[in-house]
Amino acid sequence: MTETTAVAELSRQAAFSADVAEIMNIRKRGETPLAFVRTYGCQQNVADGEKIKGMLFEMGFSFTENQEEADFILFNTCAIREHAEDRIFGNVGALKHIKARNPSVLIAVCGCMMEQEKIAEKMKKSFPFVSIVFGTHVLHQLPEMLYKTVTESKRVFMRGHEQKEIYEGLPVRRDGKFKAWVTLMYGCDNFCTYCIVPHVRGREKSRKSDDIYREFKELVEAGYKEITLLGQNVNSYGKGLEEEINFAKLLERLDSIDGDYRIRFMTSHPKDATPELYDVIAKSRHIPHYIHLPFQSGNDRVLKAMNRHYNREKYLSLVQYARKVMPDISFTSDVIVGFPGETYEEFKDTLTLIEEVGYTSLFTFIFSSRDGTPAAKMPDPVSYKEKTVWFQELLDLQESISAARCGDMVGKKEMVLVENKVEKTGLLSGRTAGNMIVDFPGEDELIGNFAEVTITEAKNYVLKGKLSD
């Protein structure tokens, strides 16, 4: 598909969108139809959810948090771990009662889970009250799918068409007023052996830097204070584009835009991280000295079996270089416990790596077998129960490190983006450059702005502070 056919396809969808708006208007006798949209999973899915809301808004919908009053209910699903999938099946199952009470409600399920054939089939067979099932590659066709269900009273199933083109210009309804996402790239080419993402999101595709720059600048001009750049591996941004660009250069270009804002990004894969990237961050005006750098395992054999394409030494040398150019940098990471064949000895290498780096916090996962991935076929002799014991050991270690990292913060002055007021305590709550939460007394007007806060206390991994004089 070429760029012009993508434009033609979007204008075809716009015609469906206008028709759906008209039909819903008649069905609702002039009342605004309401949509309930629930997104699970990573920020990429959240960004997709905002596009879905954008399309629904153009079709005349407003939004509700109450399923009972909705005319359209959509679940945007995540397939990353079995537990995530089970929860979603449970929640979709519960919609049966809503459909029984309100037969005219339209129910749709989309997202990563639906790009797996078996799961989509199960949805089709076991949940007859679900009218629309679609995968990540056909998101832009939502108006057409809705049109078909409302005009032909048929169930619609769409998935599995690898998207060759990026659909620029889809409408977006952003959830946040001062925090926003900008997608840099879609899909993933890394095929880590445990991971379902490349199988459900397709091949990696980067957006043109001019399109990204335009969207980013608009957000800065609209007053957004924190813009997070998204991709499964932002460090390989630019691959396959005609222009001469990489992630470090893109960051430099975005950082040159004047304004009162912060740039975050995720996820940074260690295999493609470069010293140049850290040099750019060190010199930047808007990028906090903080990196989420998933290591997954501290053992070289396990890393190889995971197909991560780096070893412990390379990972630690990246951390060391970043610390050399930014002594105040902080790190968070993702880690998997109990990858098939991992021994306790190998797991201990994960613990020593955690100690060596001293993360402020960790996203921790027990390996979950995903159908269709190479790891699902690997011998996995350690019981789940045993893995939970290792997992607890890791959590205990990280808890003590997090407590120490929090303690280090006391007395420091931090630029905090104020996010909300905590109802229970009446304190404002925000995040430091290093993404740590800090609570402090202050006026509501500060919400959505930066404030300089002096950290006064670190208790149970929560920082307390006061506005700096």
One character per residue 85-114, x = contact with ligand F3S (rule: CB under 6 A) = ---------------------------x--
Among 64, 91, 102, 190, binds ligand SF4 (CB under 6 A): 190
Among 160, 171, 198, 259, binds ligand SF4 (CB under 6 A): 198
- Pair 126, 151: CB distance under 8 Å: no
- Any contact of residue 148 with ligand F3S (CB under 6 A)? no
Q: How far are the Cα atoms of 34, 267, 295 from residue 350, in angstroms, in the given order? A: 48, 20, 9
Pick between residue 192 and residue 447 the one whose CB is nearest to ligand SF4. Answer: 192
Distance CA 255, CA 284 (A): 6
- Any contact of residue 357 with ligand SF4 (CB under 6 A)? no
Distance CA 149, CA 8 (A): 23
- Pair 414, 455: CB distance under 8 Å: yes
One character per residue 67-86, x = contact with ligand F3S (rule: CB under 6 A) = -----------xxx------
Instruction: Decide: helix, strand or coil at residue 397.
Output: helix
Q: How many Cβ atoms are within 10 Å of 69's Cβ, its own excluded? A: 11
- Any contact of residue 209 with ligand SF4 (CB under 6 A)? no
We find the least distance from the C-beta atom of residue 233 to ligand SAH, in angstroms, to be 6
Pick between residue 137 and residue 201 the one whose CB is nearest to ligand F3S. Answer: 201
- Any contact of residue 159 with ligand F3S (CB under 6 A)? no
With both helix axes pointing from N to C terminus, report the angle between 344-357 and 312-325 in degrees, rounded to the nearest 10. Answer: 10
We find the least distance from the C-beta atom of residue 415 to ligand SAH, in angstroms, to be 26
Per partner kind, with CB cut-offs from 5 to 8 A, the member of ligand SAH, ligand SF4, ligand F3S, none near residue 198 is ligand SF4
Q: Could you tell me which residues come within 8 angstroms of residue 39 by beta carbon, excluding any fewer than 6 positions away?
A: 45, 46, 48, 49, 76, 111
Bridge partners of 229, per DSSP, are 182, 265
Pick between residue 13 and residue 77 the one whose CB is nearest to ligand SAH. Answer: 77
Pick between residue 85 and residue 144 the one whose CB is nearest to ligand SAH. Answer: 85
- Pair 40, 52: CB distance under 8 Å: no
Mapping DSSP onto H, E and C, the string for 261-290 reads: CEEEEECCCHHHCCHHHHHHHHHCCCCCCE
**Among 179-187, 192-200, 315-323, 342-350, the segment contacting ligand F3S (CB under 6 A):** 192-200
Please give the DSSP secondary-structure letter assigned to residue 143: H
Instruction: Decide: helix, strand or coil at residue 116.
Output: coil
Would you tell me which residues interact with ligand SAH (CB under 6 A)?
80-81, 194-195, 232-233, 267, 269, 294, 296, 334, 336, 365, 367-368, 370
Please give the DSSP secondary-structure letter assigned to residue 208: P
We find the least distance from the C-beta atom of residue 137 to ligand SAH, in angstroms, to be 18
- Any contact of residue 287 with ligand SF4 (CB under 6 A)? no
Per partner kind, with CB cut-offs from 5 to 8 A, the member of ligand SAH, ligand F3S, ligand SF4, none near residue 370 is ligand SAH
Bridge partners of 107, per DSSP, are 73
Interface contacts to ligand F3S, rule CB under 6 A: 41-42, 44-45, 78-80, 112, 196-197, 200-201
Interface contacts to ligand SF4, rule CB under 6 A: 188, 190-192, 195, 197-198, 232-233, 269
